Amino acid sequence: MIKKLLFKALSRPIIQPAYRQFRGLTIGTRTVVFDAGGQVLLVRHSYSPGWQFPGGGVERGETVYAAAIRELREEAAVEALETPVLYGIFDASHQFPGDHVCCFIVRNFTRGDWKPSSEIADARFFATSSIPEDATNGTKRRLAEIAGGAEISPFW
């Protein structure tokens, strides 16, 4: 498992851009996890800047729901106790041509003992009014919509 995660983290900057050149469409997930106090879970990857919602690519043969649940477990030691609620599907072509992000919301969960990994440098909850300044634009946009009532944008 550790070798797989290490390979994934180290090879992603090379394989991911090449892969996207040959695929017409890619799809990933991001899940907005709110705790009982209304704080939101954000993760910081070791290979890219900024804080964002846990998530990642959907594997062949995997549903977007299963991918969202798997990514929560892998990145933040979160076990969803409910089916994630689909918030929307967003165009992320500005980052990677043909990419789309399925955004989910989870409010009922448990969290195990989380430890940093080769992929995830940090994972913690923040008040929605005080997320880190270097949170990604997509993260800021979704929080403004979900927690602040902003108009929904079709773009990640």
- The mean pLDDT of 102-109, rounded to a whole number, is 98
Q: How many CA atoms lie within 13 A of 109 on its CB side?
A: 24
| pLDDT at 25 (0 to 100) | 86
| pLDDT at 54 (0 to 100) | 98
Token reading at 100: 């789309």
CA nearest 32: which of 58, 57, 46, 52? Answer: 52
Q: Tell whether the model's pLDDT for residue 126 goes beyond 80.
A: yes
Q: What mean pLDDT, rounded, does the chain reach? A: 91
Q: What residue ranges in the chain does DSSP mark as E strands?
A: 26-33, 40-45, 51-52, 55-57, 78-80, 85-91, 99-106, 109-111, 120-126
- Give the C-alpha separation, 41 to 51, whole Å: 10
Q: Tell whether the model's pLDDT for residue 156 goes beyond 60.
A: yes
19-71 pLDDT, tens digit per residue, is: 656 657 899 999 999 999 999 999 999 999 999 999 999 999 999 999 999 99
| pLDDT at 29 (0 to 100) | 98
CA nearest 45: which of 140, 150, 137, 118? Answer: 118
| pLDDT at 24 (0 to 100) | 74
Domain boundaries, the chain: 2-146
CATH superfamily of 2-146: Nucleoside Triphosphate Pyrophosphohydrolase (3.90.79.10)
